[in-house]
Structure 1
Amino acid sequence: MLSQQANKLDGYRGEKRHATIRATVIGVVCLYILTTTFLGHPLPGGMFIACVVTVHWMLSCGLVVWIHRRPGESRPRHYVMMLLDISGMTYMMAVGGAPFLPLYTVMQRLVVANGLTYGRSSMKICTATALLSLTVVTYFNNYWHENPFMVVTLVSGMVLVPAYIYTMHKKLEVAYEREQDANKSKSRFLAQASHDLRQPVHAISLFIACLRDAKLRAEELKLVESIDRSLQSVSRLFKSLLDISTLDSGKVTPTIEAVTINDIIDDVLHQNSEAAQRNKCELRIIGCSAIVRTDRTLFSTMLQNIVNNAIKYAPGREILIGCRRRGNTLAVQVFDRGPGIPYEHQAKVFDEFHQVRARGDKDVEGVGLGLSIVRRLGGVLDIDVKLRSLLGHGTCVTLSNLEICAQAELAPRPIQISETDLAQGLRVLLVDDDEAVLTATAHLLRKWGCKVETSLAPPDQVSEIDLLITDFDLGNGVTGKECIEQVQRLARRPVSTVVMTGHDQDRVRDDLAEAEVPIMAKPVRPAELRSILLVQAVKARSRQAAPRITA
C-alpha cells in the first residue's frame, strides 16, 4: 500500500518537474529568438517562428497548471506533449536553418529524459520519433541538405547516446531487482526468525510470572527479576526486528484518530519507569492538554524508541519530555543530559544498525534499529524527525508537524478495569500448538482464578466457556480464524476471543476480518494479558446477568 502511494507521488513529482523544465526551456528559446533579432541577425520566418514558440510556451505553462490541479501520472498526456515538443522543434529546425541547430541538444535531452523517467519502451518510441524528425528536417532544410556529414553525425548521436543509456538502464534495472530481492529475503528472514524466537521467549515470560507468585525467598525473587529484565531486553530486540520487517514489506497502514498527547506520553513514561530506575535516570514530563491527529500505536512506538535510547545512553541523568505549539501543529521533544553525539555521527544515527561507539566503550543493549524505525515511521505519519546534540551537554530529538485538532474530535477512551477478582471462575478455552506456551499460559490463568481447558488444536467438542484464547498459527495449515469459527459453531453462539501471534498484527487483523477481536503480539507481558482478561471477564459477567426471555 505504502509503496504504491510512494510510486504515484514520485510519478506526479517527476511529471511536474519535467513540465516545469519544458516551460523553462521553451521560454529560453523565446529569449534566444528575441536576442538574435536584437543583435541584427533576424531568423528566416522569424515572426511566424516566434508565434509558434509562444504557442508552445503557453501550452507548456498550461500543462504545469493542469498537473498541479489534476495530479497523477498520465501516459496519454505524456505522449501528447512529447509529440508536441518534437513537432515544434522539427518545424523550427526545418525553417530556421543553422541558427536553430542548438535545438538538437534539447531534442536529445528530451529522448534521454523520457527514457529515464518512463522506462525503456518510452525511450524507444521517443528515439524513433526523433529520428523521423531529423529525416523531415533534412528533407526540407537546404542547410542540412548541403551538409550530409553533419546530418550523419547528428543521427549517429541520436542513436548511440540513447542506445548506451538504454543498455545502462537495463543493467541498472537488473541490479535494482537483485537488490530488492535481497532486501525482501532479509525481511523474510527477520520476520521468520523473530516469530520463531518469540515463542520460547513468550513461554519464558509466562513461567517467570508464575514464579513471582510461588512464594519465593527474597534472594530467589531477586534472581527472577534479573531474568525478567534480561528477557525484556530480548523482547525489545524482537520487536525492533519485526518493526523493520513490517516497514520493509510496505504494509504499514496508519489509523489516524484524535488522541490526547498526554495519554501517549504517560503510557511511554509508565513503560520505561523500571528501565529508568535501573539506570538511575530521572524521567520528567511537562504536561500538555493538546489533542492531535495521529496513529496512537505508531507514534507511541516512535516516542518509546527515543526515550529508550535516552535511558540507555544517558545513565544517571535527567530526561525531559515536553511539547511545543507551533501554530496549528505540535512538536514533542525528548531532552537528555547525556554525553551527546559527535557531529560526524549525527546524520548516521538514523541508519539501520548504526551505533555510536568507540574502542573500549561499554556494551549497550540493542543493535542500532531504534532511531531508524523512528525516521521511517515519521515518513509514514508525515512527522518531521530532527536531532540536535552537543558533546558534553546532551541530545534533543524533536517530533514535529503533529496536527492539533478540536476537543470534539476526541473519541471516549475505554473504561479502565481495576477489579482484581473479576477473573475468578472465568471459563477459558486455551488453544496453542506449542506445548510449552500452552502449559505456561494455562498455569498463569489458573493462578488468577480462571477455569482453564487446553488444546493443541481446534477442539472437536466445546463445553460452556466464557473466553477463547488462541494462537494464530496452529500448524497443518490451520489458523486462529478457523479455530474461532469452529468453536463458535460448536458453542452455537458468539464467544469472546483473544488472539496471540508472533506475526505482524495488521496481517493477522486482515486475515481475521474482525475489528473487535483483541490481537496480542508475542511475547505477551503478563500485565497485558491480565488487562485483556479483565475486560473480557466484564463482558462475560454482563452476559450472565442479562435477563433470559422464556416462552
Structure 2
Amino acid sequence: MTHATAEEFIRYQSDALVLRLARFVWQMHIISAGLVVMVLWDWFSPVHLVVWAGWMSSFALLQACISFKGTQQSQRARPIREWGRWFDGTAVLLALGWGWLGFSLQPENEQLRAFIGFLIAGGIVTGTGTHNAHYRMLVVTLLLIVPAQAARVVIDQPGEAGLISGSMLMLFMGLMLGLGWVLHTFTRNGFALQWEKSRLADQLEVQAEQLRQARTAAEEANYAKSHFLAQASHDLRQPLHGIGLLVASLPDGSPDRSTNTTLLRVRRSLDGLARLFDSLLDVTLLDTGQTKLTAAPVALAPLLLAAHDIFRPAAADRSIDLRIVSTRAHVLVDADILSRIVHNLIANALQHSRADRIVVGVRRRGAQVYLEVWDNGRGIPDDQQRRIFRDFERVEIPLAPQTNETGLGLGLAIVARLAAHHGIEVSVRSNLGRGSCFAVGPLQPTTDERTEAKPALQHAAKPASPASGHVWIIDDDQDARTGMTALLEKWGHTYQAMPMWRREDKTSFAAPDLVITDMHLFAGHSGLDVAAEIRRAYGKHVAVILITADTAPTTRQQVLEAGHTLLHKPVRPGQLRAAILSELASRIPERVSTEPS
C-alpha cells in the first residue's frame, strides 16, 4: 500500500504493529478472568462474577478476531485504519472491566487482594509494551484501571497508609505512562527511518530506471551512429575504390607538367580518403567493442616491410625517404592491432611532419622492446604533445608555413586507443625544427622464431624477392576490374578478369595462383563461396584475397576462419601490391611442391 506522507506511513505501521502484537495478548484476558472467578467464587455473588467474566471473555474474543483480521489485511497491504479503531474500542471496554474489578471486587483477604493487584499490574505492564504505538488509547486504559484501584485502597485503608498506597499506585501509573511514551517515541522514530529508507529506495529505483533508459538511449544512438557510419562508409567506399584503382593505373609520367601535378594531387586526395575510411572503421570497431585481442608470437620485420610497401608510393609522391631498419625481434602481440598502430603512425608522419626522411625501427631497452617511428620534420610544441592523442586534435605551430594536407585529427587518437586496448603505451619525444619520435611499447619479446604468414588480417609480409603469377580478378564492377587489370599488368602479372566464375568455366581459363574477388557479387553471390568452389576445382594452394566495403565483424570473422586475406575498400595500390606479393610468395612454392615432377 502506498502512502502520500510520512505521517500516513507511521500511522499505518503503528496500527499494523499493535494488531500483530494483540494476537498474543487476548488470551491473557480470558485466562485472568477465569482465575479471578475461581479465587473469588466464595467471596462475591456468582452472578456478579459470571457477568464480569463474560464481559471480559467476550471482548477478548472480539479483540482476537479484530487483531487476526487486521493483521491479515496489513499483510496484503490493504487499509487497516478502521481495524485499529475497533481494536482501541475493545481495549477501552476491557480496561473498564479491569477497573471495575479493582474497585468493586476487592476481597477482605490480603493475599487475594495482592493476587488481584498482581494480575492488574501484569496486564498494565503487558499493555504498555504492546499498545504503546496507540499512546492515546494506552493513556485512556490506564486512567480507567489505576485510579479506580487507588480509590478503593484509600477507601479501605483510611488514614496515612491508604494515602501512601494510593499514591504508590498513581506513581506506578505515571511510570508506565512514561515508559509507554519512550517506547512510543522509539517506535515512531523507527517507522520514520523506515519511511525515509523506503523513499530513498524509491528514488534510487527511479534514478536507476532513468540511468537504464539513458544507457539504452545512448546505446541506441551509438548503434545508430555506427550503423550510419557503416552504411555511409559502404556506399562511398565502392565508387572510390574503382576511382582509386583507375587513377593508380595511369602512367607515372606525362609530358604535360600540369597534368602530372593534377594527377599527383588526385592521388594524394584519394590516399587521404582511404586513410579517412580506415580511421572511421577503427573508430567504429573500438566504439562497438568489436576489436578483439589475440596475442601470438610475431616477427616484426615482415610487419614493418609490409607497411613500407603500402606507404612507399605515398612517400614517393611527397619526395620523402621512407626507410625500415632491419630487425630480428619477435614479440608477443596482436599483429593486426600493432599493424594498424604502425600504419597510423607512418600516415601521420607522411601527412603532418613535413619531413624528408621517415625511419621505422625497433629499439631494445633492457629486456623490453619498443617500436619507433622517427621523422626529421617540423616537430611538435611541448604544450601540444599530450593534446595530439585526443580526438580531432591537430598540431598548430605559429608562423609555420601553410599546407594543403588535411585530416580529421583521428589518427593519433586511434593509435592511443588501440594501444590502450592492447595494454601498451604510445609516447612522443619532439624538438621544434628537428623532428619527432613516436614509441610504442613495451612489447613483450619472445624467443619463438616462427613468423606468422600474415602479421594482420589485411597485410602480410613482403617476400625476399618479387614474385609473379597468374591472377584472377572476379568483380562485377567494371571500373574496378579495369583499374586492377592495369595495375597487375604494370606490376608484371598475368591475369584473367571476369564478373563471375562458375565451375563449368574451369576449362575456359588457365589455373590461377591467386584469386582477387569482391566479397559481394551480383545476384547475391558471395566471394567466399566462389573462392571455396575455385579451391575445390584447382586445389587448396590457390591464394585468395577478398575485397569488400562491408566492415561488419561477422565478415572479418568469416574471412579469418577461411584463411584468406581481407582488404577493405578503397584499397590503396601499395596495400594491394603488398598483399599480392605476400600471397604469391607463400602459395607458389606450395603449389610447386604438390605438382608431380
Q: Say if 1:389 and 1:395, in contact at 8 Å, map to a contact too.
A: yes
Q: Which of 442, 445, 448 matches 1:404?
A: 445
3-state secondary structure, aligned to 1:212 = coil
Is the CA contact (8 Å cut-off) linking 2:517 and 2:527 kept in structure 1?
A: yes
Specify which of 494, 499, 516 is matched with residue 563 of structure 2: 516
Q: Give how far 1:346 is off.
A: 4.9
The DSSP-based 3-state class of the residue aligned with 1:211 is coil
1:435 aligned residue: 478
Q: Match of 1:366, SS?
A: coil
Where does residue 196 of structure 2 map in the other structure? Answer: 157
Provide the rounded CA distance (Å) in 1 between the counterparts of 2:521 and 2:453: 36
Identity %: 28
Q: Is the 8 A contact 1:319 1:335 kept in 2?
A: yes
**Equivalent residue in structure 2 for 1:253, among 292, 300, 320:** 292
Shift of 1:370: 0.7
Q: Deviations over 1:48-88 (max 9, x none)?
A: xxxxxxxxxxxxxxxxxxxxxxxxxxxxxxxxxxxxxxxxx
Q: Secondary structure at the match of 1:349?
A: helix
Q: Which residue of 2 aligns with 1:354?
A: 393
SS of 2:294's partner is: coil
Separation (CA, whole Å) in 1 of partners of 2:293 and 2:556: 14
- Asked whether the 8 Å contact 1:144–1:151 carries over to 2, the reply is no
Q: Aligned in 2, Cα 1:339/1:522: closer, same or farther, shift over 3 Å?
A: same
Structure 1 counterpart SS, 2:370? strand
User: Does 2:279 align with 1:235?
Assistant: no
Q: Which amino acid aligns with 2:227?
A: R
Matched, 1:340 2:380: yes
Answer whether contact 1:505 1:521 (CA < 8 A) is retained. Answer: no
Q: Match of 2:221?
A: 182
Distance 1:504 1:331, change over 3 A: same
User: Which of 421, 432, 435 is matched with 1:380 structurally?
Assistant: 421
> 1:224 Cα deviation (Å)?
3.0
Q: Does the aligned pair in 1 maintain the 2:559–2:566 contact within 8 Å?
A: no
Partner Cα separation in structure 1 for residue 202 and residue 411 of structure 2: 45
Equivalent of 2:347 in 288, 302, 308: 308
TM-aligned CA distance change 1:451 to 1:391, over 3 Å: closer
Q: Tell me, what secondary structure is at the counterpart of 1:330?
A: strand
Q: CA 1:309–1:211 in structure 2 vs 1: closer, same or farther (change >3 Å)? A: closer
Aligned-pair CA distance for 1:234: 1.3
- Name the counterpart of 1:466: 511
User: CA 1:167–1:236 in structure 2 vs 1: closer, same or farther (change >3 Å)?
Assistant: same
CA–CA distance in 2 between the matches of 1:174 and 1:487?
50
For residue 217 of structure 1, what is the aligned residue in structure 2? 255
Task: Give the whole-Å Cα distance in 2 for the aligned partners of 1:282 and 1:206.
Answer: 24
- The two structures have a TM-score, normalised by structure 2, of 0.57
Task: Give runs of aligned pairs for residues 170-209 of structure 1, distance below 5 A.
Answer: 170-209=209-248
Structure 2 portions without partners, runs of 5+:
1-132, 134-180, 455-460
The code of the aligned residue for 1:163 comes to D
Does the C-alpha gap of structure 1 residues 440 and 458 become closer, same or farther in structure 2, counting only changes over 3 Å?
A: farther
CA distance in 2, matches of 1:394, 1:415: 28
- Do the aligned partners of residues 294 and 217 (structure 1) sit closer, same or farther apart at CA in structure 2, a change above 3 Å counting? same
Deviation at residue 506 of structure 1 after TM alignment:
5.6
Give the equivalent residue in structure 2 for 1:118.
none
Superposed CA deviations along residues 5-24 of structure 1, whole A, max 9, x for unmatched, are xxxxxxxxxxxxxxxxxxxx
Whether contact under 8 Å (2:249, 2:486) holds in the other structure is yes
Q: CA RMSD in A?
A: 4.1
Equivalent residue number for residue 484 of structure 1? 531
Tell me: CA distance 1:529–1:321, structure 2 relative to 1, closer, same or farther (3 Å): closer
- Alpha-carbon distance in structure 2 between the residues aligned to 1:412 and 1:256: 15
Alpha-carbon distance, 1:522 to partner: 2.2
How much has 1:155 moved relative to structure 2? 0.9
Match runs of 1:275-354 below 5 Å? 275=314, 289-316=328-355, 323-334=362-373, 338-341=378-381, 343=383, 346-354=385-393
Aligned residues: 403
Residue in structure 2 matched with residue 366 of structure 1 by the alignment:
407
Residues 1:206 and 1:277: Cα distance change in structure 2 (over 3 Å):
closer
Q: Distance in 1 between matches of 2:591 and 2:435?
A: 55
Q: Would you say the 8 A contact 1:279–1:315 is kept in 2? A: no
Inter-partner Cα distance in structure 2 for 1:334 and 1:527: 19
Query: Aligned to 1:400, what secondary structure does the other structure show?
Result: strand
What one-letter code is carried by the residue in structure 1 that aligns with 2:478? Answer: E
CA pair 162-302 structure 1, distance change in 2 beyond 3 A: same
Letter paired with 2:544: T
Q: What is the CA-CA distance between 1:367 and the residue it aligns to?
A: 0.6
**How far apart, in 2, do the equivalents of 1:375 and 1:197 lie?**
27
Match of 1:452 in 2: 496
How far apart are residue 435 of structure 1 and its match?
A: 2.6
Q: Distance in 2 between matches of 1:513 and 1:285?
A: 28
- Rounded to whole Å, the distance in 1 between the matches of 2:539 and 2:317 is 48
**Residues 418, 469 of structure 1: alpha-carbon distance in 2 compared, 3 angstrom cutoff:** same
2:511–2:538 contact (8 Å) kept in structure 1: no
- Kindly indicate whether the alpha-carbon contact (under 8 Å) linking 2:279 and 2:410 is maintained by their aligned counterparts in 1: yes
Matched position secondary structure for 2:441: strand
Instruction: Tell me the equivalent position of 2:32.
Output: none
Shift of 1:251: 1.9
Seen in structure 2, the aligned counterparts of structure 1 residues 153 and 364 have a Cα distance that, compared at 3 Å, is farther
Moved more, 258-267 or 156-165: 258-267
Counterpart residue identity of residue 407, structure 2: G
Per the TM alignment, residue 279 of structure 1 is displaced from its structure 2 partner at its CA by: 5.6
Secondary structure at the aligned position of 2:194 is classed as helix
Which residue of 2 is the match for residue 74 of structure 1?
none
Q: Classify 1:529/1:182 alpha carbon distance in 2 versus 1 (closer, same or farther; 3 Å).
A: same
Q: Tell me: CA distance 1:289–1:377, structure 2 relative to 1, closer, same or farther (3 Å).
A: same
Change (3 A) 1:298 1:163: same
Q: Which amino acid aligns with 2:280?
A: L
Quick check: 1:431–1:455 contact (8 Å CA) kept in 2?
yes
Conserved in 2, the CA contact under 8 Å of 1:305 and 1:374? yes
Question: What SS does the aligned partner of 1:340 have?
Answer: coil
Local SS of the residue matching 2:389: coil
Give the 3-state SS of the residue equivalent to 1:309 in structure 2: helix
Distance 2:506 2:449 in 1: 45
Q: 1:459 to 1:433 in 2, by over 3 A?
A: farther
Report if the CA contact (8 A) 2:463-2:581 is conserved.
no
Render the CA deviation track for 1:466-520: whole Å, top value 9, x for unaligned: 233321012443321232345456x475554332112338633422464432323
